[in-house]
Structure 1
């Protein structure tokens, strides 16, 4: 199946699709890993309807919803070959007030509205590796993250908080040409 998403469940109905001849709509009785919270439904419905059309639609969300955004961006990402490398990518840091906000912002910087470029340091490393040491990133408004991503206890991750300095060190060690503005 390659990069395709897998779905497990029982087929309960099939019918010809209104989307075109030769297509079939399939209804599954499938178990979810975890049920959606009521406030997550609008976000997932937006993604199912085609995803965000403009940058920073994630910005007003609370951290738990930003985490859901990053997960939805991963699920709905385009598995086509990467776009040609841009000479410089621009990360809009105005709303990077938490760890998940960083992943929302870097995803959009590299892949446009709703883009995904990782949701943790492992996947960030994997995606940077794909750029073969040729990733030039200008982080605008980096002072916002410097102010918010500080040492402490991360109640969401149940671990030490990932700080601004941790992210900068990580990106630098990954050979990202980083310009903090």
Structure 2
């Protein structure tokens, strides 16, 4: 059996944070670099709570103040839909999979995305969708709406 690979220098502080337990405070992922945020998402996936029946309905709030890159968008989305340290995908395909159920929440529900303009102005906004017409943020909004989620950009 091979020894586990130690975390990268960017991931080490994230691992140390999670070693204390699953986060209970919002935005603990925010100070990390894109690499650290990616490590956060991997740990959030591994720490997913036991399966329970999916809920639907309600209003969920995404704190967009720190959505400055793609991993940050997914950290904020996981937190908005599954609580601090929550996971709800790490990219388009995983995000779509989560919307299909098995991750605690299914449509219909409402997502109020606070400070959405920050994500639109961030470098993540320059990443184009597979069709080349939408920004990453617009693509995520379209995926949500296609799944039956009401998105309010505030």
| TM surpasses 0.5 | yes
1:68 match = 39
C-alpha change, 1:168 and 1:83, in structure 2 (3 Å) is: closer
Q: Over aligned residues, Cα RMSD in angstroms? A: 2.2
Offset from partner CA, 1:29-88 (integer Å, 9 cap, x none): x443x5421342232132132122200011111111111111111111112315644511
Find 2:93's aligned residue among 122, 140, 148: 122
**Take 1:65 and 1:97, find their aligned partners in 2: how far apart are those partners?**
13
Point out the structure with the larger strand share.
1
Show the 5 A alignment for 1:24-43. Answer: 30-32=2-4, 34-43=5-14
Q: Which structure is larger by alpha-carbon Rg, 1 or 2? A: 1
Q: Structure 1 residue 172: deviation in Å?
A: 1.9
**Structure 2 CA distance for partners of 1:46 and 1:105, relative to 1, 3 Å:** same
Residue pair 2:79, 2:85 contacting (<8 A) in 1 also = yes
**Higher relative contact order at CA 8 Å, sep ≥6: structure 1 or structure 2?**
2
Say which SS state the counterpart of residue 143 (structure 2) adopts.
helix
Number of aligned residue pairs: give it.
Answer: 145
Unaligned runs of 5+ in 2: 129-133
Structure 1 CA distance for aligned equivalents of residues 22 and 107 of structure 2: 30
Residue 139 of structure 1 deviates from its aligned partner by 0.6
> 1:163 and 2:136 equivalent?
yes
Structure 1 unmatched ranges of 5 or more: 1-8, 10-29, 154-160
Cross-structure match for 1:150: 125
| Shift, 1:93, TM fit | 0.6
Structure with the largest fraction of helix: 2
Measure, in 2, the Cα distance between the counterparts of 1:178 and 1:78.
25
Taking structure 2 as the reference length, the TM-score comes to 0.82
User: Taking structure 1 as reference, are residues 169 and 86 closer, same or farther at Cα in structure 2, changes over 3 Å only?
Assistant: closer
